């Protein structure tokens, strides 16, 4: 599991996918989310705008899980 530091107040799921290097563009994030390939805390989530907070764990196939930590 890899920790990714974000500012206080959280970060949107689509932004985190780009920030963590899991996708290169917002379009790629949208494709992953639409295909139900993204899990947040073990549950499929398709909302690019979902606000993630410290402690949330994001998983996509073929990549190490990401844990959100506050900077």
Which pLDDT value is given to residue 49?
95
Tens-place pLDDT, residues 18-53 = 999 999 999 999 999 999 999 999 999 999 999 999
26: left (phi over 0), alpha (psi -120 to 50) or beta: alpha
Tokens of 2: 């890899």
- Model pLDDT, residue 30: 94
Q: pTM here?
A: 0.92
Domain spans in the chain, listed from the N-terminal domain onward: 2-70
Q: Can you identify the CATH homologous superfamily of domain 2-70?
A: RNA-binding S4 domain (3.10.290.10)
Q: How confident is the model at residue 8 (pLDDT cuts 50, 70, 90)?
A: confident
């Amino acid at each position: 599991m890899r920790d990714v530091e974000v500012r206080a107040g959280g970060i949107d799921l689509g932004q985190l996918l780009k920030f963590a290097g899991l996708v290169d563009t917002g379009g790629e994030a949208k494709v992953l989310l639409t295909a139900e390939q993204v899990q947040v805390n073990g549950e499929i989530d398709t909302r690019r705008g979902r606000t993630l907070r410290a402690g949330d764990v994001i998983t996509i196939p073929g990549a190490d899980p990401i844990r959100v930590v506050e900077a």
